[in-house]
């Protein structure tokens, strides 16, 4: 499964000139607002006709301006979840969910109503009208509606951007389930480091209408210079871990990662489950010797493999901890005082309390487990 | 009070005819009304202002002028009238069908206006969303656009009906005032006012006019409220 986009397009003063190809499970189109990512996703959906270029999904050419090909949106079999849900107000939730089924040839229908309703936890909503739903519920129904059209690719355009943190936390686990339990590839537009780090397998970074970088999530998240200024504090290492055990006495979970054991506040998921965590660079301290008499619980030994100047008085230090790179942001003064250089043996120190809902996969909310 | 309810057969005929004429005028205006409203709301074409002007003409012209123009074009010797009579056997002049045509034309700008406003209020993003779910443009129109403009369709239809119930000038000019054929309520009332001792009849028909118009208005309110409750604005 792959998505190929290679287009150039002018919108008045704004020019988009982008090329990327991704075969990821969930590809994030990431960048600040106005970077052209929503325009790109609308082109993949067929809502905007690019001035020039090619778009192909899984080898099927949807747009090729040279060859005069433009497949209209209703023939693309590409589902889309919009930021504003766009549920049909004159139909019930069930009516909305069923809408796309009519247009899918029976042989190509793989989505099953009961399974989708169960996956998204929207069973109790079926008879309601969209106007009576909360923002989070609307978004879940919108995802279900797109799924039930049995698309070959799912596009999500900032599906969480208009929701508050509690609603975001409510929906994120469902998107994770979608990513892990279905074979449907997803292209996900977002400007949030937290969402991208948690959800994406691959990232395409957009800036001013161009692709600034693309690659696996772990590698991209290390490049703090690629992140939008207001999100730079959120950047850092992304580690895939497994829940090793829960420490009920102290309300913590212990995760196993390549870098070593990491203690985080108790997660609502079972032992053995995979969790992706993000260690913000600003949350990491560096010690030159094994610290003692320190409250921080996570002390990861490693070797400095990268030092690059950051914003203002800071430097960004990459520490290779047994194969996993942890990023630390410290002041130039500290780097100088500790004489940190490439190859220095150090300890990366991370407080357990620096992990929160936003940078740990918090697992499904309890009420949706059954 | 008896004189109030005791209608003569001619008066009953005028009532029945008026309702028939207004209903036919409304129903036949609806499809072209939707089409023209769509064109005006969404079309981008040369001559749009002209089309808009032509549609609104009956609203600003003296009704007598509209009636006379209808007589010229749809009369027995008019180009459209002769053509329709010869090929389809449809005759308008001095028939109730002519009254319906005149009433339909006079109410058309009101209907188009109401529908156009509701089309312009439709969130086109909804239609785009339906498209991504696989619905072709025709299906999107039938399942998304039409239901969303239902309140406008109801309002436009009622306006057209009410206008037809009250139309006088264009009708009497085009198809005259023939009892049992083209004598609608307003024409009948007018006739009563022209003869001595016609006051009772004029008053009876006036009251009936008021009742029918009020009933139409109430019906549209009830319908619009039911539709509105069904889909609440998000």
CA distance A317 to A339: 12
Strands A345-350 and A298-309: antiparallel
pLDDT (mean) for B37-50: 93
Taking contacts as CB-CB distances below 8 angstroms, the residues of chain A near B233 are 89, 131
Closest CA–CA distance from residue B123 to any residue of chain A (Å): 9
Q: Do B129 and A45 touch (CB under 8 A)?
A: no
pLDDT score recorded for residue B234: 39
Set of chain A residues whose Cβ sits within 8 Å of the Cβ of B134: 74-75, 77, 100, 102-104, 149
Best B133, B141, B152, B232 residue to mutate vs chain A (most A CBs within 10 Å): B133
Q: Is any Cβ of chain A less than 8 angstroms from the Cβ of B143?
A: yes
Tokens of A11: 């919108």
Q: What is the pLDDT of residues B13-37, one digit of tens each?
A: 899 999 999 999 999 999 999 999 9
The string of DSSP letters for A152-166 reads SEEEEESTTTTS-HH
Cβ-proximal residues to A152 (8 Å cutoff; 6+ apart), any chain: A57, A58, A77, A78, A184
Query: Mean pLDDT, chain B, as a whole number?
Result: 90
Task: Identify the segments of chain A with pLDDT beneath 70.
Answer: 361-370
pLDDT of B61-97, one tens digit each?
Answer: 999 999 999 999 998 888 998 899 888 888 898 899 9
Ranges of H-type helices in chain A: 37-45, 93-99, 113-120, 135-147, 165-181, 193-199, 217-222, 332-338
pLDDT of B4 reads 65
* Distance separating alpha carbons of residues A90 and A64, to the nearest angstrom: 37
Give the ipTM of the model, two decimals please. Answer: 0.81
| pLDDT digit string, tens, across residues B97-133 | 999 999 999 999 999 999 999 999 999 999 999 999 9
Distance CA A47, CA A40 (A): 10
CB contact under 8 A, A74 and B137: yes
Q: Which residues contact B148 (CB under 8 A, 6 or more apart)?
A: A89, A90, B118, B122, B123, B126, B231
For residue A45, list chain B residues with Cβ-Cβ distance below 8 A. 132
Closest CB to B129: pick one of A86, A104, A131.
Answer: A86
pTM for this predicted structure? 0.81
CATH class of A3-234: alpha beta
**All structural domains of chain A with their residue ranges:** 3-234, 238-354
Angstroms from B153 CA to nearest CA on chain A: 15
d(CA A156, CA A161): 11
For residue A99, the model assigns a pLDDT of 94
Of B125, B128, B147, the CB nearest to A90: B147
Backbone angles phi and psi of A363, in degrees to 5: 80, 170
The token pair at A159 is: 């599906």
Q: Going from the N-terminus, what domains does chain B have, and what CATH number goes with each?
A: 8-231 (1.10.3720.10)
- A203 φ/ψ angles, rounded to the nearest 5 degrees: -130, 135
**d(C-alpha A216, C-alpha A28), whole Å:** 10
Compute the half-sphere exposure of residue A26: CA atoms within 13 Å on the CB side of its CA: 22
Q: Is the pLDDT of residue B169 over 90?
A: yes
CA B57 – CA A32 distance, rounded (Å)? 52
pLDDT of residue B233: 46
Interface residues of A toward B, Cβ cutoff 8 Å, are 45-47, 72-80, 82, 84, 86-90, 99-100, 102-104, 129-132, 145-146, 149
pLDDT of B231: 61
Cβ separation B128–A130 shorter than 8 A: no
Helix A135-147 and helix A165-181, axial crossing angle in degrees, nearest 10: 20
Show the tokens assigned to A326.
Answer: 């942890």
A225 with A49: CB under 8 angstroms?
A: no
Closest residue in B to A84 (Cα–Cα): B125
Q: Record the tokens describing residue B151, joined without a space.
A: 């309140």
Q: What is the CATH number of domain A238-354?
A: 2.40.50.100
Scanning B174-193 for CB atoms below 8 A from A yields none
Residues on chain B touching A131 (C-beta within 8 angstroms): 231-234
Question: Looking at chain A, which residue has its C-alpha nearest residue B138?
Answer: A74
Instruction: Judge whether B228 is closer than 8 Å to chain A, CB to CB.
Output: no
Q: Measure the CA–CA gap between B97 and B178, rounded to whole angstroms.
A: 13
Minimum distance, in Å, between the CA of residue B137 and any CA atom of chain A: 8
- Rounded to a whole number of angstroms, the distance from the CA of A73 to the nearest CA of chain B is 6
Provide, as residue numbers in chain A, all residues whose Cβ is less than 8 Å from the Cβ of B128. Answer: 47, 73, 86
Task: Tell me if residue B2 falls in helix, strand or coil.
Answer: helix
For residue A193, CA distances in Å to A24, A86, A123, A346 come to 18, 25, 31, 27
Chain B: give the shortest CA distance to residue A94, in Å.
Answer: 14
């Amino acid at each position: 499964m792959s998505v190929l986009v290679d287009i150039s397009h002018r919108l008045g003063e704004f020019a988009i000139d982008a090329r990327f190809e991704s075969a990821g499970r969930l590809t994030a189109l990431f960048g600040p607002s106005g970077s052209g990512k929503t325009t790109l996703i609308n082109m993949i959906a067929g809502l905007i006709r690019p001035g020039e270029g090619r778009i192909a999904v899984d080898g099927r050419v949807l747009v090729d301006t040279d060859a005069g090909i433009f497949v209209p949106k209703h023939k693309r079999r590409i589902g889309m979840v919009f930021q504003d849900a766009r549920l049909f107000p004159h139909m019930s939730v069930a009516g909305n969910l069923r809408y796309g089924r009519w247009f899918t040839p029976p042989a190509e229908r793989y989505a099953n109503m009961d399974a989708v309703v169960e996956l998204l936890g929207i069973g109790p909503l079926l008879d309601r009208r969209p106007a009576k739903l909360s923002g989070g519920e609307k978004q879940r129904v919108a995802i279900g509606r797109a799924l039930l059209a049995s698309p070959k690719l799912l596009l999500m355009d900032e599906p969480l951007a208009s929701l508050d943190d509690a609603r975001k936390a409510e929906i994120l686990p469902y998107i994770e389930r979608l990513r892990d339990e279905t074979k449907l590839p997803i292209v996900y537009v977002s400007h949030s480091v937290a969402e991208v780090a948690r959800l994406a397998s691959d990232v395409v970074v957009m800036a001013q209408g161009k692709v600034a970088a693309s690659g696996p999530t772990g590698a991209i998240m290390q490049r703090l210079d690629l992140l939008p200024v207001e999100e730079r504090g959120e950047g850092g290492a992304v580690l895939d871990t497994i829940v090793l055990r829960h420490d009920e006495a102290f309300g913590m979970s212990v995760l196993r990662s390549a870098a070593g054991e990491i203690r985080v506040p108790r997660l609502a998921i079972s032992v053995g489950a995979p969790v992706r965590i993000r260690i913000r660079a600003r949350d990491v301290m560096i010690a030159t010797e094994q610290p003692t008499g320190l409250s921080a619980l996570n002390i990861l030994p490693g070797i400095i493999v990268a030092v690059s100047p950051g914003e203002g008085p800071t430097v960004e230090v990459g520490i290779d901890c047994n194969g996993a790179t942890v990023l630390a942001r410290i002041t130039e003064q500290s780097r100088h005082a500790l004489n940190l250089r490439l190859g220095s043996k150090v300890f990366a120190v991370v407080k357990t309390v620096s992990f929160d809902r936003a940078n740990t996969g918090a697992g499904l909310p309890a009420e949706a487990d059954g | 009070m008896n004189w109030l309810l005791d209608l003569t057969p001619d008066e009953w005929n005028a009532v029945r005819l008026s309702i028939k004429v207004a209903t036919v005028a409304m129903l036949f205006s609806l499809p072209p009304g939707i089409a023209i409203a769509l064109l005006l709301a969404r079309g981008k074409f040369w001559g749009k202002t002209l089309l808009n002007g032509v549609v609104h003409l009956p609203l600003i012209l003296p009704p007598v002028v509209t009636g006379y123009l209808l007589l010229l074009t749809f009369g027995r010797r008019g180009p459209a009238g002769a053509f329709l009579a010869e090929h389809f056997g449809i005759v308008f002049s001095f028939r109730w069908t002519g009254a319906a045509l005149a009433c339909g034309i006079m109410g058309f700008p009101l209907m188009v206006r109401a529908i156009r406003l509701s089309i312009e209020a439709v969130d086109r993003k909804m239609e785009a969303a339906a498209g991504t779910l696989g619905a072709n443009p025709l299906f999107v129109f039938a399942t998304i656009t039409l239901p969303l403009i239902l309140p406008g369709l109801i309002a436009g239809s009622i306006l057209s009906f009410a206008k037809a119930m009250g139309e006088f000038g264009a009708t009497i000019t085009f198809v005259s005032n023939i009892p049992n054929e083209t004598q609608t309520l307003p024409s009948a009332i007018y006739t009563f006012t022209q003869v001595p001792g016609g006051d009772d009849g004029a008053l009876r028909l006036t009251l009936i006019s008021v009742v029918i118009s009020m009933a139409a208005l109430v019906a549209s309110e009830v319908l619009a409220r039911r539709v509105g409750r069904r889909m609440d604005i998000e």
